[in-house]
Amino acid sequence: MKIHPAYEMLRPGKKFPNVWCPGCGHGIVQGAIIRAVERLGINRDEVAMVSGIGCSSRMPVYVDFNSLHTAHGRALPFATGVKLHNPKLHVIVITGDGDALAIGGNHFIHAARRNMELTVILMNNNIYGMTGGQYSPTTPIGKKASTAPYGCAERDFDACALAVAAGAVFAARGTVYNAVELDKMIEKALTKKGFALVEALSPCPTLYGRLNKEGSAVKMLQTQKANTINLKAAEKLTPQELEGKVVTGVFHDGEAQPYTEVYQQIINKAQGR
Amino acid sequence: MSKQIKLWQGNEACAEGAIYAGCDFFGGYPITPSTEVAEILAALLPKHGGKFIQMEDEIAGIGAILGAAAAGAKSMTSTSGPGFSLMMELLGYGCMAEIPCVIVNVQRAGPSTGLPTKGAQADVMQTRWGTHGDHPTIALCPSSIEESFKLTVKAFNLAEKFRMPVILLLDEFIGHMREKMEVPKPGELEIYNHPRPKVDPKEYQHYGDGSSVGGPYAAMGSGYRFNITGLTHDKHGFPTSRLDEIQWKMDRLRDKIDRHLAELTEVEEEFLDDAEIVIFSYGAAARSSQQAVRQARAKGIKVGLLRPTTIWPFPDRIVTDVLKKCRTMLVAEISQGQLVYEVERCNKSNTKVVPVLRYDGEMITPAQILKAVEEAQK
Ligand code: SF4
């Protein structure tokens, strides 16, 4: 039997089965990340995967990289320390919508502002999965959650717009339905020198789906396909036509001097070089 | 090399001590009265090829130093009361994940925003019990500028050896006091760097060498791929809910301190041999206590000083022994009496324990302590 080359990037044995529910989108994102690392030929010893807390943030246990599972919302400060101390490491940050945008929201904007060289994979399932379905900063207004039994009263964040406004060099939104496109986005993000965000829309059938009567995992993927529209196609539509759609694609692909390079110049200056 | 004599502040001596110890990473957020530590390291670290980063808050500050330490740095942050409170969750993380680093808390008067520019010694219980869950703490308390330097070096050594965050508990009085000190020459003070593993990466266990202290462990990116988590984990660092593994981890955290109490505990004693009255005092308060002891001795009162420089783990055995031999123990501290209870806990001989306290933001004076000594003498 031929084994996929990415297979050896997993930690078999004790670490599986994983905690994710059947039909959860997170496994597809994990696949996309290891395929991207494999295609880019990055040495596993040089990858550090840093996560916060939540369903998605369990990923570091399953992949055979240097892995650091931190506290809720704090993946970015830890990752900042890892990268700044050892700039040779490719630091991949695994985070969720609650982790990155609620408790870790301040870290998110500041890591982007500094242009820390981090590849941030934000798995957005529009809900708090691990704690049982409470609303998150990306739960759409009116949608149900265990703490929003009458529908969410808050407006939701656009993580990509937020990252770009804060100074990220790359921001893209993909879906687990469009896994091939997601692979490419993550691969591109990994090559960027600076703060690169890939927001992966990843359905949570167990909680968001059930609370909002979205049907089975397969049905949720079909809904994802129907409700998302590519940036290029979206540009041709009026705001009315875009109502209720989620736009995917690469929103920003720019350049800015990365933090560790700027800091190296500081070191040179301090040392009179 | 000729002697290097400096007129330093406690905060300055602490920053210089960090460089001496080999600190190469600082992450933190400015807060009075600790700011000089950060400011000086912002200037010194890049000169030595290290990194300084001012994070967006204290939580990020300690997060960054834990990340850097996981990647192999000798790292440090500094803060004061309210900032220290914010760090509690990740301080516990550092203990659970066994990541060495140094946290300097230059205590100021609280509670809350309190008296931001004034001193106190009221974070001693926060230092011990501020985090959630069970784990031991190491905290060192200098009483002078020279000690601020030396105990910073020691804090790094203990962090490396016991593989956990170590707290340097300064207070504003020491932090901002200027005093002459002789700077130790390179090589004069011991610098401990924890051993790196030599085993084949396939055999490597991040927590599993069986040693009673930290044991050799790898840095991220050094060819050993391992997992670190704040979840209860096995010897490899992978989350576990197996009862025997939970027990093993919790015992390991406790035992690495409990089995080295003698090595960890450090106290200074003055005139204890024939003392009928003993003053228990640490940090800035011990300065006034020392003065009071000398004045009382000049008056012929048999009084001595017990001054711990390691406040956690608490020097139980020493305090118990001293209590047995004296008539009265005065506990002089700049708080409403946080250590009085600890001393009482060690009291197995019904010795009289008397608090001598001040908590209005000002320094406790020798006169106040001398008065208490004279009363105890009656
Ligand atoms: S609760 Fe939702 S997000 Fe969490 S693993 Fe299950 S399906 Fe995935």
| pLDDT at residue number B125 | 98
Q: Which residues contact A236 (CB under 8 A, 6 or more apart)?
A: none
Total residues found in chain A within this entry: 273
- For residue B268, is pLDDT > 70? yes
In the numeric block, which tokens belong to residue A180? 């091939």
Q: How confident is the model at residue B3 (pLDDT cuts 50, 70, 90)?
A: confident
| pLDDT at residue number A116 | 98
| pLDDT at residue number A17 | 82
Average pLDDT over residues B138-150: 98
| pLDDT at residue number A200 | 98
- For residue B139, is pLDDT > 90? yes
Q: How confident is the model at residue B211 (pLDDT cuts 50, 70, 90)?
A: low
Nearest to B228 by CA among B55, B24, B69, B58: B69
Q: Ligand 1 centre and the CA of A206: distance in Å?
A: 6
Q: Ligand 1 centre and the CA of B93: distance in Å?
A: 25
- For residue B213, is pLDDT > 80? no
Average pLDDT over residues B287-311: 98
**Kindly report the CA angle at B177 between B172 and B180, in degrees rounded to 5?**
145
| pLDDT at residue number A273 | 87
Segments of chain A with pLDDT less than 50: none
Check pocket membership of A55 for ligand 1, CB cut-off 6 A.
yes
Average pLDDT over residues B59-86: 98
Interface of A with B (CB under 8 A): 14-15, 44-46, 48, 50, 60-61, 64-71, 74, 76-82, 84-86, 88-89, 106-107, 110, 263, 266-267, 269-271
Q: What is the pLDDT of residues B338-349, one digit of tens each?
A: 999 999 999 999
Alpha carbon B274 to chain centroid, angstroms: 30
Q: How many CB atoms lie within 10 A of CB A156?
A: 18
Angstrom CA distances, A119 to A28, A92, A196, A223, B285, stand at: 17, 5, 5, 28, 50
Residue B298 three-state SS: helix
User: What does the alpha-carbon distance between residue A72 and residue B251 come to, in Å, rounded to a whole number?
Assistant: 25
- For residue B210, is pLDDT > 70? no
Check pocket membership of A21 for ligand 1, CB cut-off 6 A.
yes
| pLDDT at residue number A14 | 67
| pLDDT at residue number A7 | 82
Q: Virtual CA dihedral for B134, B230, A96, A221, nearest 10 degrees?
A: -110
| pLDDT at residue number B215 | 75
Per-chain mean pLDDT for chain B: 96
